[in-house]
Structure formats: C-alpha cells, structure tokens
Structure 1
C-alpha cells in the first residue's frame, strides 16, 4: 500500500494548505458532461487527458462552476488518488461523504483505499506483486502510458531492500 501511495501521490495526502492532494482529469469531465464545455473550456474539458497544472484546485473550481457533480467525480483525491466517480466503490453512500472524508484525515483516505481494494478484489494482485494486473484495474486500461505498474514496482523495491 505504501508503494501505491507513493506512486500515486508521492505519499502525501494533503497539500501545504491542508487541502487533500488532487488531480483534475479533464477527459473525465468531458465524458461526464458529454463534451458540452469542451469548445469554450478545453483546459478543463477535453477528450484528451493532460493539461495538468501546479494549481489543480483552480481547474476544479472552474469546472465546478459549470457542473459541480461532474467536476468532483472527475477528480483524483488524496493519498491514493481515488477518482470521485468511484465514491461508492470506496465505501461511501454519496459523493459528498467521500469528498468530506478526503478532507478529514489520512485515516479516512486509507479506509477508502482499503474498501476500494476489497470491493475490486485487488488484494491478491498486491500480495502477489502483480503490478500490471493491479494497475490495469486501479488506473484503467491505459495504465501503461504513465507506467504505473513500473512505478509501483520500483517504489516497492525501494522499501523492501
């Protein structure tokens, strides 16, 4: 779990200002809003991933003014970078409960991660160090583009020596 946390968020759950670490995914916002805002706001709504900045909260806030629910669902949250649209798989009955937990504590972020892992039956992949299999489910079918499996494996090796 430590390797996943470091590969996903450099093992930090909160920014210096106390807000949970986030990454806004403009391609998810595009999908959730059927591209409605892409022409006028390609920085926050686009078919392509990317466009990340040093201030992801500014992008999230801009998107939230257009469609709050889609914006929150399109964001990776906390130490384990769980996507907002996975709130139920992370053990929460509402998106807002999930967001509140991400702000509340590292412990709540860990509980969400464990729930997500159990729900998706990814514990075997972690125990057996099958990083590609884990990453395919956790990060999606394009996990190899950002080499999540390699990153997790490398971090695991660093801590296991």
Structure 2
C-alpha cells in the first residue's frame, strides 16, 4: 500500500458527526484542532500526515530490531525527519514487522497512534490506516472517538487556546529536567509534548496515552521535584 488517497478535507457532515460524538459545538472542536493537531491531515502528495515513534516500535517488538536500526527502534523517542521523510522510516520498520510498524506511527489531523486503533473506532490496524488514508472526516472522527473513550473534555481545549495550562507547563519542565524533549515550555500541548509524555510513561510502566493524567503528573512531580 502506498498510503496515498484523494486527500479529501473535512466537510460539514464530518464536523457534524464529530460534534455529535463529543456532545459539543463546532467551536470546541476547532479549539481542539488548534491545540492538539497538525493543522491539516495530509501531505502535499495526499498521504496522511504521520510521525513514526521509534520508542513505540521498540516497545511493541520488545527491542529485537534495535541493533543497527536505532533510527526506527530505540528505547528513547527521537529520530524524527518530518513530512514525507517519516514514510521512509515507516517503510524501513514495515520491512521488519508491518503490523507493529503501523501501530508505531501517529496518523492524520489528530495524530492518533496506530496502537489506539480500537479506541479510535476500528476493528484492526489495517482498517484504521485505511480510514486515515480516506479523508479528514475519518481522521477527525478517530480523534473524537479517542477523546470520548478516554473520558476527555473537548471543551477544555478552548481555554488552552487563550491561556497556558500551568499544570502542563510544570509537566513540560519536569520532562525537560528528566532528559525528555517536550518542546517549548509553554503550557500548550503539541506533538513533542505528547511524544515526551509517551516516552516517560513507557519508562514508568504507566499507560502510554501521551496524555497528562493525574498518575502521570504525580509521577513527574515525584521524579523531577522530590
């Protein structure tokens, strides 16, 4: 599969479906998009935006491909190329283990991790990826399903657009002190912060959601500010 589709953007029916799933208005959904996403779900060649997470591939394959493949299988996050270059990393991982490679990338406008395919509303990784290739409606609904299944409030994001989340800012500082790379210490959640949280959660044996839940925050505080 070349992962290239038509690159169809989000439309009114897709937005209505997401609003219904989350029980919010479109303003709250746009707030989530502003804070949590890559802005648009496709590259210029109409393949979904992806980011390959080598530490996730390392975890899912129990490190058996680490030797000679540090760029795609590594205990620590990193090695990002960005843009179309991420597909080169994905292809290298697929040659070693296709199913776990697809689960080790985040996909589409909401950058939902492949290993979250069930909470995103799909029966298999392949069906999830096909949805991400199809259109932004499917990408955004996957994100909405993930938000709903994890008990998150989409409306909360509208306040993050205006003001930093000080708890998240403290978590970013803790991640920085502990050797992770959360990006700017700004109280705004982006992909670098999400990746850093996943890396920290992996090392601590916590659920690898990339979300700043209370268990993760408490562990960060205990480690960075004893």
TM-score, normalising length: structure 2: 0.58
In 1, Cα distance between equivalents of 2:157 and 2:65: 42
Partner of 2:51: 23
The structural deviation recorded for 1:128 is 7.5
Size of the aligned set, in residue pairs, is 148
1:104 is the counterpart of 2:141: no
Alignment partner for residue 13 of structure 1, among 41, 45, 53? Answer: 41
Partner of 1:151: 188
Instruction: State the secondary structure of the residue aligned to 1:76.
Output: strand
Question: CA-atom RMSD, angstroms?
Answer: 2.9
TM-score, normalising length: structure 1: 0.79
Partner of 2:149: 119
Partner of 1:49: 77
Q: Is the 8 A contact 1:2 1:11 kept in 2?
A: no
Instruction: State the secondary structure of the residue aligned to 2:188.
Output: helix
In 2, Cα distance between equivalents of 1:148 and 1:34: 32
Partner of 2:112: 82
In 2, Cα distance between equivalents of 1:100 and 1:149: 35
Instruction: State the secondary structure of the residue aligned to 2:95.
Output: helix
Write out per-residue CA displacement over residues 124-158 of structure 1, whole angstroms, 9 at most, x where no aligned residue: 6726747869x7xxxxxx698235972359xxxxx
In 2, Cα distance between equivalents of 1:56 and 1:100: 18
149 and 29 in structure 1: CA distance in 2 versus 1, 3 angstrom threshold: farther
In 1, Cα distance between equivalents of 2:129 and 2:159: 30
77 and 124 in structure 1: CA distance in 2 versus 1, 3 angstrom threshold: closer
In 2, Cα distance between equivalents of 1:150 and 1:3: 15
Structure 2: unaligned runs, 5 residues or longer: 1-28, 169-174, 191-226
1:68 is the counterpart of 2:68: no
In 2, Cα distance between equivalents of 1:12 and 1:124: 18
Rg bigger for which structure? 2
Structure 1: unaligned runs, 5 residues or longer: 136-141, 154-161
